[in-house]
Structure 1
């Protein structure tokens, strides 16, 4: 890590220029934009916050690693964990979700652990972050209520996994992420994990918050997001590349998972 002492970013402060911000109780949503080539100081955030990169990206230095983060990526920042962003790309725009302390006190929950910040096989975008982002841009009289529910779903999904995620669930997660583009069945998964298919069927939703089929759909949508943001392929080509039978299948699944159509997401 740099010798520079990291600074704390208080509530509502981010790297970059805020071009839009909405506050719903203890929930703050915003969009920020960045100058090409700019770099931040080492810093950490006072509150938990999530980001979705709409365009551009940067290189992020952390104590454990350095990552290149591009359009379509979903990110989590744990309070107090220092990082630095450098070499912002042209036209970088980022959606931010920040949750104040009173949000967690009100609902009797805690923030996801810092481990999520370094998790490579996550589905943050499709576990609710994109639906939250949709509400930010929709911004109508129902958005406050919708955001509370969506933020609770996003947080509690990770709380459940952190509390009681057994070894077999971690293994099946690895298999689904590694073999997402191959034909899978309960029988095949059970054979790889030395479990009975009924055990997987009965317990999967308890740990993942959805069926195995829906989790696989989320993985495929996560794969599609950077391709949509890149804007270099037609949706039909993206659909085939990400394992969907055709564009109609892709569009239905995208809407089912995110609450919006691929073209609506692309236009944000």
Structure 2
């Protein structure tokens, strides 16, 4: 079985950024099939465009634009890609950093991350890789550290290893219907807790208030749709739960400092 060393991925890598304990690579995937292999370093994969499937001994991940996966080091897997343009960004973490800062609490295995607070960081990291001057490198390093710090918990729910059952129910409910307008009362009824309890404890497990979580979830979904380039900004706005195109543009610029159209042009 082939072992891939630091900074090496199958395909055509056109950018590599070395940040001491971290390596960022931007790669176009050119292989329709990659046989079983593993990587020297633990790493994140953030799919930018196209589709690819990753299969390991426990899971089968079907990835589209905006999918974020984490892979522990030495984790065997293989990949299948349909014909067409596919690109991804990788963030590798050195063994030294993992041992020093993640330690025994580091997430195990290979799995998908859906937390929009984490995914938003990767959209911002991607934008920073397109403008690598001295100032942006400091910002990039800070974003990378913030993203890597999420490994303390597999579910990415702040520090709590055994959250109550309503947390998982709420995650599924929100991500299954990101375009719906939820009320505190309707969500509380659906997951079986009191609205006051939900309002009070949501930040404890999610790291922000309910409104901020839903907003970032919708923005990450919109960014992924923009990368796919198959829909108009107006259509994306409605499908992702924004009032209209103007609402999406305003929120998108607040989060990423780019309008949706400029975001598309910048990443090409």
TM-score in terms of structure 1 length? 0.84
The corresponding residue for 1:3 is none
CA–CA separation in structure 2 for the residues paired with 1:97 and 1:235: 29
CA–CA separation in structure 2 for the residues paired with 1:31 and 1:124: 22
The structural deviation recorded for 1:121 is 4.2
Aligned pair partner of 2:263 in 254, 262, 265: 265
The corresponding residue for 1:89 is 83
Aligned pair partner of 2:163 in 156, 163, 166: 166
CA–CA separation in structure 1 for the residues paired with 2:118 and 2:261: 16
8 Å CA contact 1:56, 1:71 repeated in 2: yes
The structural deviation recorded for 1:124 is 6.9
**Number of matched pairs:** 260
The corresponding residue for 2:201 is 203
8 Å CA contact 1:50, 1:76 repeated in 2: yes
Aligned pair partner of 2:16 in 21, 32, 41: 21
Give CA deviations for 1:236-266 in whole Å, capped at 9, x if unaligned. 1111111111112112222333443322332
8 Å CA contact 1:33, 1:93 repeated in 2: yes
CA–CA separation in structure 2 for the residues paired with 1:78 and 1:43: 13
Matched, 1:134 2:127: yes
The structural deviation recorded for 1:93 is 2.0
CA shift in 2, pair 1:255/1:48, >3 Å: farther
1:46-57 equivalences under 5 Å are 46-57=40-51
CA shift in 2, pair 1:131/1:33, >3 Å: same
Measured on the aligned residues, the alpha-carbon RMSD in Å equals: 2.5
8 Å CA contact 1:128, 1:258 repeated in 2: no
CA shift in 2, pair 1:166/1:75, >3 Å: same
Structure 2: gaps (5+ residues): none
Matched, 1:11 2:6: yes
TM-score in terms of structure 2 length? 0.84
1:203-222 equivalences under 5 Å are 203-222=201-220
